[in-house]
Structure 1
Amino acid sequence: MGFKNFRFQVILRVLLIVFTVFLFFRLDFKASLFATQVAVGVLIAAQTVALILYIERTTDRLIKFLNTIKYDDFSEVFSSRGEGKVFDELYQRYNEVIRKFRDIRSEKEATTQYYQAVIQHIGIGILTFKKSGEIQLINNAAKRLLQVPHLLHVEQLRANAPQLVAQLQTLPAGQSVVLQLKHAKERVPVSLFVVDLVMRGEDFRLASLQNIQKELEEKEMEAWQNLIRVLTHEIMNSVTPISSLAGSVAADIDDYLKAQPGSVLQLQREETEDMGLALQTIERRSQGLVRFVQDFRSLARVPVPQKHFFEVGEMLKELQTLFQEEYNQENIQVSFQCQPQTLQVLADRQLVEQVLINLLKNAIHALADQKDKLLQIDAFPDMDSRVVLQVSDNGSGIAEEAIEQIFLPFYTTKPTGTGIGLSLSRQIMRLHNGSLTVHSELGIGTTFTMRF
């Protein structure tokens, strides 16, 4: 044990070198002892090299330990060689560090396997790829949607889904788009959403693909049910009194024919006036029904926007002039702000004006019962550089249950309203790839937001 002790070995070797050096100089470079002195010099060199090699040998384990970390190989075990207490403790620490790294790697592998299992079993398609298009991960749901058993590069999809490839590469991060994917003879609507990631200094894109066929069908069915309900309600409101009144007039005429069987029919003036009034009512309600159908046709025939750049501030000034007389009559205090003054938007100006006119008329109607009437119009770019137009009033507000329905065709809270204005306005904004939303609080006011 003592002969293996590192300190003992170093001290012994140093003492031997010192003794040999002392002996070398004791020979005093005498000619008769030249061979002996050379031999002693060689012995000094050999002992020095042996000491260096012995000390360097103790660093081999440190190098081996560092290599286990460098190459992620934690199978090495360091055992004691009887080199002393310090080295025993050092090797023990080596083993503890290796065990810790081994546990961390095992935990990391288990976590990776867990997340991979989750990703592979979720119903939404997940796809990650480098900027070059090289696929890093694709789950089973994505394979089913894309109809591929495996995928190595995004360009492999170009033959069957060129639009998808283009959107995967160019769609701005954080945005989504709906695409059509070919499945045999059918086309499946798919929602695509992408985000950009950076991992270890390299750029990646993560894309999610979701089949929205069921959701679209449910929304379509719900929309048709709402439309049918509204149409049925409106038509029945007009047809029921027409049918009742027509039946009453027909019954009266039948009674007169039975009472006067001859070729000449005599009616009192009062009776004739009653019939005439009934026919006028039937005509008026019939015209209302025709007007309702025409409104429905106008809702279904919104023209395709002819987009061009125009200044928003100039358009708002013209609308201010257009409504100024009505503002004065209703004692409405109006203000509008456009920041910056040169703010421009790419849109169909006539259609945008139509939406604003409808929103301004609604605001004027909402302010009818207010004492201090305030109307605010704002135009500005949002954080995503999208142009925003807002029309705000301090009217009575809109009830929560009504907010969910005000964009439905023919739904209206006005006694004389047609109920197509807001629905038509939202449809115009959608044709501009924009949105029309509303925020309202009872007793405080309402704000309509147009976002392009």
Structure 2
Amino acid sequence: LDVPLAVKDQMLGLIRIYLTQQRTFSKDEMDFVITVAEQCACIIQRVQLAENQQAHFTHLATHMEKLSSLGRIAAGVAHEINNPLGGILLFSSNMSKKVEAGSPIEKGLKIIIRETQRCKVIIQRLLEFSRDKKPKKIPADINDIVTTALGVVENQFYLRHVTVEKHLAPDMVKTLLDEDQIEQVLINLLLNALNAVEEYGRVTVKSTVDAAQNIIEVEIADNGCGISAENVKKIFEPFYTTQSTGTGLGLSVSSGIIKNHQGDIRVFSELEKGTRFIVELPILAENTTERKAYETAEHTGY
């Protein structure tokens, strides 16, 4: 006799009962066997759920431990490197002013200055990653932040002949945001989109309001090379990048910023078709008590 172990049409196994001779089971016996099978199926399902949750929590704990260690290492390395880089930048800048314009020495010094500045940017991102800076939220219009971010990268898009299509919700509402941090996220996503498209490509920026779910969304989409399904799972990991000049910290830092705003950032991509990033943020009303406490702390320094 084979009795299936199933929960809501999900087959988990079966109980096979061997009999010494063929016989007919009574209704009470069949009810008993079915009840035992249902109880066994429920127990198996609960054990599987507990094991899956345990594996998930173990993964999260390991990931958080790695991030914590990485943050401490990053902060230490950044501090040790920042000081000598400052000296290199200072002396190379002074020397470039004293050499003949257009000479090979001046060109070499400009390369040193440019690469030193790039190193300082990388270090700054390391510090931002390790500090997990708490956002200073004020009522803000996401459309204004989008417009500011587009203005910052406008020249780079122009030089690459990349078209930007902007569709901002006319009924946008204000919510509590750290304008500088959200601008940093949007600039990073815009630059990623720019790097993904070829010349004469297209990037679309759209904002929407979902009053029913009490959220606002900003979508940045491109028609570039796309990201493979395997790489999509890794793009928010620190130091992971597919770009030859990237640091692999931009999306990791951006994800942390959005999570600190109680929001979410999602990505949808298909190779050779393009990528969409959706930043979702909750609509939050200003808490007057918290605001006064924050302003007091700002003035007193505590």
Give how far 1:379 is off.
1.1
Per the alignment, residue 227 of structure 2 pairs with: 398
Per the alignment, residue 201 of structure 2 pairs with: 373
Per the alignment, residue 162 of structure 2 pairs with: 332
SS at match of 2:164: strand
Of 387-396 and 286-295, deviating more is 286-295
Q: What aligned pairs does 1:86-125 form with structure 2 within 5 A after superposition?
A: 118-119=41-42, 122-123=45-46
Give how far 1:422 is off.
0.5
Match of 2:174 among 344, 367, 377: 344
Contact 1:313 1:341 in 2 (8 A): no
Residue type matched to 2:240 in 1? Y
Give how far 1:118 is off.
4.7
Give how far 1:435 is off.
1.5
SS at match of 1:384: coil
Per the alignment, residue 193 of structure 1 pairs with: none
Match of 1:220 among 61, 64, 67: 61
Give how far 1:331 is off.
1.7
Once superposed, which parts of structure 1, at least 4 consecutive aligned residues long, lie more than 6 Å away? Answer: 106-114, 208-211, 225-229, 284-291
Contact 2:145 2:182 in 1 (8 A): no
Give how far 1:445 is off.
1.1
Alignment of 1:384 with 2:225, yes or no, is no
Change (3 A) 1:306 1:439: same
Match of 2:240 among 411, 414, 438: 411
Q: What aligned pairs does 1:144-155 form with structure 2 within 5 A after superposition?
A: none
Between Structure 1 and Structure 2, whose CA radius of gyration is higher? 1
SS at match of 2:131: coil
TM-score by length of 2: 0.57
Rounded Cα–Cα distance in structure 2 between residues aligned with 1:435 and 1:319: 19
Higher relative contact order (CA 8 A, sep 6+): 2
Change (3 A) 1:108 1:439: same
Contact 2:172 2:208 in 1 (8 A): no
Rounded Cα–Cα distance in structure 2 between residues aligned with 1:355 and 1:344: 18
Give how far 1:395 is off.
1.2
Per the alignment, residue 318 of structure 1 pairs with: 148
Contact 1:393 1:447 in 2 (8 A): yes
Rounded Cα–Cα distance in structure 2 between residues aligned with 1:340 and 1:210: 48
Contact 2:153 2:191 in 1 (8 A): no
Contact 1:227 1:409 in 2 (8 A): no
Change (3 A) 1:209 1:346: farther
Give how far 1:448 is off.
0.9
Q: What aligned pairs does 1:280-299 form with structure 2 within 5 A after superposition?
A: 295-299=125-129
CA deviation map 1:96-155 (0-9, x unaligned): xxxxxxx9xx99999788656654664379xxxxxxxxxxxxxxxxxxxxxxxxxxxxxx
Give how far 1:307 is off.
2.7
Rounded Cα–Cα distance in structure 2 between residues aligned with 1:297 and 1:222: 19
TM-score by length of 1: 0.40
Unaligned runs of 5+ in 2: 1-26, 78-113, 282-302
Contact 1:313 1:343 in 2 (8 A): no
Match of 2:267 among 416, 435, 438: 438
CA deviation map 1:188-216 (0-9, x unaligned): xxxxxxxxxxxxxxxxxxxx999945422
Alignment of 1:354 with 2:184, yes or no, is yes
Give how far 1:416 is off.
1.9
Change (3 A) 1:328 1:288: closer
Change (3 A) 1:332 1:286: closer
Rounded Cα–Cα distance in structure 2 between residues aligned with 1:319 and 1:292: 20
Contact 1:363 1:393 in 2 (8 A): yes
| RMSD over aligned Cα atoms | 4.3
Rounded Cα–Cα distance in structure 1 between residues aligned with 2:115 and 2:195: 25
Rounded Cα–Cα distance in structure 1 between residues aligned with 2:186 and 2:202: 17
Residue type matched to 1:310 in 2? A
Contact 1:312 1:338 in 2 (8 A): no
Unaligned runs of 5+ in 1: 1-102, 126-207, 236-283
